[in-house]
Structures are given as C-alpha cells and as structure tokens.
Structure 1
C-alpha cells in the first residue's frame, strides 16, 4: 500500500505497470468469451422471442460506468499503462475489464433469471449466490497471478492478493438484478425491455452501497487490524441479509407432503 504525507486516504500505487503480454492474453481470452456469449444471447433471443439476454449483456457492459467510483472507495487500482477503454475519476479502466462486465454482470444475470423462472427453492437461491461468489473468487484469483490490477489500502479479509469482501458484492449484484426482472417480468416486455439498462445501473449502485459500505469505511480509515477485518465481515453479513430477502421474495414454496392415511380400526361387536 502506498501512503503519502498529508493525504486523507490511502493512495494507489501510481507507478505500477502491467505486463503487456499478460494483458494481451487476458484481453484475447475475454474477447472470445464475450463473442461466444453474444452468440448464445442472440440464439436465445431467436428461440424465446425475447431479447433479454442481449439487453442484459448491454446492461452489464454499461455498469462499467460505476467502476471508477467503487474502485475509489474500495481501493482497487488498474495501472496507467493498461490498454485503456476510458478514464474517470482520474482512474484508467482497461479494455479487458469492460469485456468481463459483459459476461459477469450480463450473462450471469441472464442465467440466474432463467433459473428463477424455472423455480428455485430457498436453499437453491443460496446455492446460486455461493456459486457466483466462488466464480468471482476463482476468476479474480487467476487474474491476479499476472497483476493486471491491485487492491490497496487497509483491505479486510485478504486471501493472497484478493480481498474477499468484493466477492459478496459482485455476487449479490446479478442476483438482485435478476430478482427484480423476475418479479416484474410482465413489465419488461416489448420496448420496455430496454428499461433494464437503467435498472441495471441503479441496482449496481444500490447493491454496492448497501453491501460494500462497511468495507469502504475501514479500507479508507486506519482503525487497526481487528476492526478492519470486522468491516469485511459486516459486508458479508449485509450480503447475507440481502440474499435472504431475495430468497423470501422468489423462492418457490416447499412441497407439503400429504399426511399418511390413518388406519380405521374395526369396531368391536
């Protein structure tokens, strides 16, 4: 972590550079995944008659608007020599990250929405959330081998180079978005399906703030190791409350087994 005298919050490592060969490889792999995902979304549109998968891919990409904001409070830095898609808040955002958004927040939300339409139990909703967290953990842990970005500041719950609290936020966002679309499915028909794009942006902002704020607080405040870890745990607790609310809204009721027929005794003469 880089700290500068006179600054109020931890400062990013401005002199960090990314290995260009590694970045090119990451970008190429994600470009292929996005292309395959786009083909799947178009095929699904033709089969179902609904362009929801395509719209959600676009919505997922649009969520990149908030990346520089959450990176500022969540202390994530992408090197300035990255192949930059755009810069905001004084932060460069690489092309490969934009590609990842199309899949992680676009296609993943589509898959969760489809699962909700088929029907999920309370337990299965939790399994979906845990699977999304695991996916983020694996994805970022692999990426961080090549150091295309870094988590700095007083990060809680570090596992290697990955700050675990991020996976709670990143998993809750597509789950909540899919839930809102599922609950108001009849509304998002015809041209109104495009309303999913601003809805996705709003959901991203709300979930990041609702779940991430405890970690944001300790990341940017020197409160000691114990309280820093506690901030990360409170983020997980907030995510768990949110997932429990989602499950209460969308989980299909448990099948109630019929009572066993009672034996009727023969009356004595």
Structure 2
C-alpha cells in the first residue's frame, strides 16, 4: 500500500476563468482610462514646450513599462483580464492584455508618482502622507469598479473583502507603487541632472515590484493555497498592516515637521502639486550628500 502524506499539502490552485472579453465594456473602459492619459500627455508636452523639463513625460513612460508587471500580479493575485479583446496590446505568461491595462499603469502608477513627487517637494507631514495614501486608495476604487462591474475583468478564488467584484486588499496595496516611486524621485532627483533624468523611467516599475512584493505576499500565499475563506481574511488583515507600515516607512523619507510645511489642507496641497506655487513659498527639500571620495555635490544643493 502506498501512503502519500497530505496533511500539509496545498490543494490545487484555482484555474483562471476563460470568459471572453465583451466588446462594449472594453471600449467604454478603455475610453474611461484613456482620458487621464490624454490629459497627462498634454501637460507632459506642455512642460517640454515651456521649458519645465521632461519629468512628467519620463514618469508616464515608466508607468507604461510597469504594465509588464500586470501578468505577474494577476497570476499571484488571481485576477483574470478577459481575453479576446479587440485592442490587445501584449501577451505574457500565456495571457493577453488589452489597451486599458497600458492606460491604467501610465496614469495611476506613472502619473500619480509624479503627483506624489510634487506634493513631497512642496512639503508634506506624516498626517498628510497618510491622507495622500487614503486618496490614492479611493482613486483605485473609482478606477477599478467600472471594469469589474461591466465585466472587463474579474477576480476569482477565495478573495477576501470582495463585495462587488473588487477585492479590497488590492486597493490597499496599489497606492504603495506611486508613493514609493514619488519618494525615489523626490530623494534622487537632485542627482539626476541632464540625461540622468531618464533613470526615473525604471524607478516606476521598480516601485511597482517593491509595493506589491512588500505588502501583497500574505494574500498571494493564501489565495494560492486555495485555503478556506477565513485564511484569506486573515491574510487580508496582515496585508493591510504591511501596506500601512510601508506608508509609515516612507514618512521617514519624505515627511517634514509641521512648521516646515506651509501648505495646509488637502485641497491646497493638491492644487499646489498640479499648478505649482510661487518660488520661495516652499522651503527646499533636505538633501543628504553621500560620504566617500567619489561623492559629488549636486548642482544647486544646499548643504
């Protein structure tokens, strides 16, 4: 008689669905997500023409590249972007991905990274950083809900907190991506003069991997064990806790004391990030010069 131990063995991972992409929801969702991309590109080109530099453009390009992470997080997080789309743009890991996936990464990951950088540069407190995180959570709910409700994509398996087709653990993880990218830009931009500004492009997908890997792994593990739903809920709590820890860690990188942040109120902070503030109204960010014989002081840095 052959004995096979099964006490610790995981059950089979749920297979992703095979539902075809409905054309009308695909087109509507593509337009819905394409509008902010068009707005971002308009301002990116305007910045180039008016001499404000290519920062917004390189952030959007980095966001577009970051979409290559989608098949990774979909496979681990049990998300199925319905295949057979009319506007398929790339294939990876045996899955096809439509144009709206490219759009959402361009503006949510790349565009919001630029916005986070602007907010950090103008000055943000720890409280303000958590408010920005909460705003990005709400934006994520707003942008994803139409897609799942119309049937452009779906989540499967024992997803926790899945009330209308959008498991809420995702919306706590996703904002870590643009916030981390914005923090990287904020701290390193003084050193990225000239052609080095292009290094921001890989910052965006790097932040995508950091955010997902740091916070999502408990739910990934639970989902791919195909465990009972209560296990997924426990993993949800751990993932939310890890996401909040990530924001707290970022506060040591970007937050300033209350008396060094002249802009008060969420509306004023967002307005200043989008439209700018008068030069001299905001104190410059602190710059730490690395020690060592090869360290060079960036141009214009205040020590």
Q: Same fold (TM over 0.5)?
A: yes
Mapped partners of 2:15, 2:220: distance in 1: 14
Q: 1:81 aligns with which of 79, 84, 87?
A: 84
> For this pair of structures, how many residues does the alignment match?
250
Say whether the 8 Å CA contact 2:110–2:204 is kept in structure 1. no
Unmatched 5+ residue regions in structure 2?
1-9, 261-303
Q: Paired residue for 2:188?
A: 184
Residue 7 and residue 218 in structure 1: after superposition, are their counterparts in 2 closer, same or farther (change >3 A)? closer
Question: Which secondary structure does the structure 2 equivalent of 1:125 belong to?
Answer: helix
* CA deviation after TM superposition for structure 1 residue 12, in Å: 0.5
Distance 1:245 1:94 in 2: 35
Residue 6 of structure 2 corresponds to residue 23 of structure 1: no
The structure 1 segments of at least 4 consecutive aligned residues displaced by more than 6 Å after TM superposition are: none
Q: What SS is found at the alignment partner of 1:77?
A: strand
The correspondence of residues 1-269 of structure 1 with structure 2, limited to 5 A, is: 8-14=12-18, 16-47=19-50, 49-82=52-85, 83-255=87-259
Using the alignment, how far apart are the partners of 2:77 and 2:193 within structure 1? Answer: 36
1:139-182 Cα deviation digits (max 9, x unpaired):
11122221100011121221210011111221111001100110
* Structure 1 unmatched runs, 5+: 1-5, 257-269
**Segment drifting more, 80-89 vs 55-64:** 80-89
Q: Is the 8 A contact 2:11 2:227 kept in 1?
A: no
Report the alpha carbon displacement of residue 7 of structure 1 after superposing the two structures with TM: 7.9
Deviation (angstroms), 1:240: 0.4
Contact 1:181-1:188 within 8 A present in 2 as well? no
The answer to whether the 8 Å contact 2:11/2:225 transfers is no
Structure (1 or 2) with the larger CA radius of gyration:
1
Equivalent in the alignment of 1:266: none
Residue 184 (structure 1) shift: 1.3
TM-score using structure 2 length: 0.79
* CA RMSD in angstroms, aligned pairs only: 1.7
TM-score by length of 1: 0.88
SS at match of 1:255: helix
